[in-house]
Amino acid sequence: MEESLKQRLAMQLYDIQVLKFGEYKTKIGLRTPVYFDLRMIISYPDVMSSLAKALWALRDPEESVNRICGVPYTALPLATLIAAHNDVPMLMKRKEAKSYGTKKMIEGVIEPRHNCVIIEDVVTSGSSVLETADALRKEGLVVTDAFVIIDREQGGRKNLENHGIRVRSLYTITQIVQYLHEAGKITAETVKDVQDYLATNQAPVIHMQGSELNDRLKLSYGERAKKTSNPLTSKLLELMESKQTNLCLAADLTRTDAILRLADAVGPHIAVLKIHVNIIEDFSERFVTRLKEAARLHNFLLMEDCKFGDIGNTVLLQYRHGLYKIAEWADLITVHLVSGASVVNALRDGLKGITEPRGVFVVAEMSSQGALTVGDYMKSAVSIAEKTSDLVVGLVCQSNLSARPEMLQLTPGVHLSSSGDGLGQQYNDPQSVINAGADLAVVGRGITESSAGWLKAALDYKQPLWEAYEKRVGRRKV
């Protein structure tokens, strides 16, 4: 594309407020002095058409393109225009798989070994392109190129190149601000602010496709324990390996004597005992003392499933103070990130003076029907969790969301047979949850309400869960 045409198109993007300068925050709460809102282009057909033509012109004329796939959602209309104007079949990646029908992630006519080019609006870390490439490659397609409108120059290009994807961008952020400064649209101070931002805000290296994705699913708990710097993550993984259990028991009982009897009965066979302290009718400090003694005796960790979700200061007070003083006894807690990454920082502040290691499981997905923990919320939760792994032990989720060996996945809603409880809870069997990426499986009523007794029920879950894990890591023949 000619330089003059690129400059003219950049001015159009600025004039329709696609390019914004000032104080903005990214979807995971990071400050940025420049923001690209390319969703605006759908209201400007002429600009959208120009961008589609410019992106298609980035291709090498000597290379054939069999398919194109736009990263959802902003790039979808651009991919549609390219497909329609150039007679190239289009594929579409879903944000999340359907829960019914074929449950496909990629829609369209797929021909294995065909080349597929990814269309994207903005690349920062490259994670969205990598996720799309991973889904396409699983279908047998060849992905070697991504056509991008703007490269933010924050490490995304390098991340993609490391995974065999060449980035062809219409603009870099440096080129954009240079054009706008020369045209008098922005000041020299704004240019410097953007340059300073780029110099100090680089995206982390991403390991997704290939070795590390396979590592989390193929490495043993013991091997993974050596790959984390979080002492509680390492402790939990080593505990699971030594006890040969990946069972987390949800003790949703309302009386302390029942919880303590349950802990003594099944303690030798579980990795984590999970409670909801605010449903206990006779809570006392003596109960905490006895519960900690049971955990030491039977070598399991204690989790308070409070799902903290308020603003930072309130969460800090809830964690450290009040009747329950959770930070003083719970090895693990659960957290919703509806208030953003600041809640993790607040929990870290709440641990001042606590000498024993503590950890957090971030709720990324829930097992209840119609849960709103999907799409951008889920992606943001995973991103924040991975960036704060000094405190975050893992994710509460239903599917394989993280490639990192140090990030444990805790899956609730496990029953010996797939079913539901009539109140929106959906159950999956032990083998399916482990195959879907779970490291720890949460079982509650399947044990606590079993007519066979707590110990027998716990063993009935422990064995198939462990066998499924051993098959996953290749220790046991399928």
Task: Tell me if 367 is assigned to a ligand binding site.
Answer: yes
**Residue 131 to residue 121: CA distance in whole angstroms:** 15
d(CA 450, CA 347): 36
Residue 140: partners with Cβ closer than 8 Å, 6 or more residues away: 110, 112, 113
Asked if residue 444 belongs to a known ligand binding site, the reply is: yes
Backbone angles phi, psi at 83, to 5 degrees: -60, -45
Separation CA 229–CA 237 (nearest Å): 12
The whole-angstrom distance between residue 443's C-alpha and the CA centroid of its chain comes to: 23
Bridge partners of residue 172, in order along the sequence:
151
Q: Within 10 Å of residue 425's Cβ, how many Cβ atoms?
A: 17
Would the annotation count 425 as a binding residue? yes
445 is in an annotated binding site: yes
Cis peptide before 73 (omega within 30 of 0): yes
Per-residue H/E/C for the chain: CCHHHHHHHHHHHHHCCCEEEEEEECCCCCEEEEEECHHHHHHCHHHHHHHHHHHHCCCCCCCCCCEEEECCCCCHHHHHHHHHHHCCCEEEECCCCCCCCCCCCEECCCCCCCEEEEEEEEECCCHHHHHHHHHHHHCCCECCEEEEEEECCCCHHHHHHHCCCEEEEEEEHHHHHHHHHHCCCCCHHHHHHHHHHHHHCCCCCCCCCCHHHHHHHHCCHHHHHCCCCCHHHHHHHHHHHHHCCCEEEECCCCCHHHHHHHHHHHHHHCCEEEECHHHCCCCCHHHHHHHHHHHHHHCCEEEEEEEECCCHHHHHHHHHCCCCCHHHCCCEEEECCCCCCHHHHHHHHCCCCCCCCCEEEEECCCCECCCCCCHHHHHHHHHHHHHCCCCEEEEECCCCCCCCCCCEEEECCECCCCCECCCCEECECHHHHHHCCCCEEEECHHHHCCCCCHHHHHHHHHHHHHHHHHHHCCCCCC
Q: Residue written as tokens 């064995």? A: 463
Q: Which positions are annotated as active-site residues?
A: 305, 307, 310
Q: Tell how strand 408-411 and strand 440-443 pair up.
A: parallel
Q: Which residues are annotated as a binding site?
A: 252, 274, 367, 425, 444-445
Q: Which residues are annotated as a binding site for substrate?
A: 252, 274, 367, 425, 444-445
